[in-house]
Amino acid sequence: MFESADQIIDQLKVGSIIHKVLLSETDAEVIDPKGYSFVKITQAGAAETRTLANGEQGQELWILCTVYAANVVVTPSSLVGSTITFDTDEDHWHGIFIDGEWHNLHTAATVA
């Protein structure tokens, strides 16, 4: 039986294969991770702050600081801990949102 590519793609869980990247380039921005797997932070000025909204149950998220000139402090709405500080180039944080809180899975950033 012949199926078109569209029919096959509709049957796949595309979100598990293709990950969306959110670019975060604005100081004091609220990062809304819903629908994203990766957040890329570009920071090229003075120290900055951002907030991270709650995710969806079971959602995993990577945050990567690709350009670093000064600290970027991310304060999630709900985190086991209180802040994530990116203080070197290529710092990253990997977390999962479970039962209303972000939980740390792996990090090179500072979680306090």
Query: What is the arithmetic mean of pLDDT over 60-74?
Result: 89
Would the pLDDT of 6 be above 70? no
In a domain, 1, yes or no: no
Q: Which domain holds residue 97?
A: 19-111
pTM of model > 0.85? no
Pick the residue with more confidence: 43 or 98?
A: 98
Whether 21 and 62 have beta carbons less than 8 Å apart is answered as no
In a domain, 2, yes or no: no
Residue ranges in the chain assigned as alpha helix (H): 5-11
CA dist., res. 64 & res. 91, Å (int): 6
Would the pLDDT of 69 be above 50? yes
CA dist., res. 81 & res. 88, Å (int): 20
User: What pLDDT does 4 receive?
Assistant: 64
In a domain, 41, yes or no: yes
- Work out how many domains the chain is built from and give that number: 1
In a domain, 27, yes or no: yes
Query: pLDDT averaged over the chain?
Result: 84
Residue 98: give its domain's CATH number: 2.60.120
User: What pLDDT does 94 receive?
Assistant: 96
In a domain, 25, yes or no: yes
Q: Which amino acid is at 65?
A: C
In a domain, 13, yes or no: no
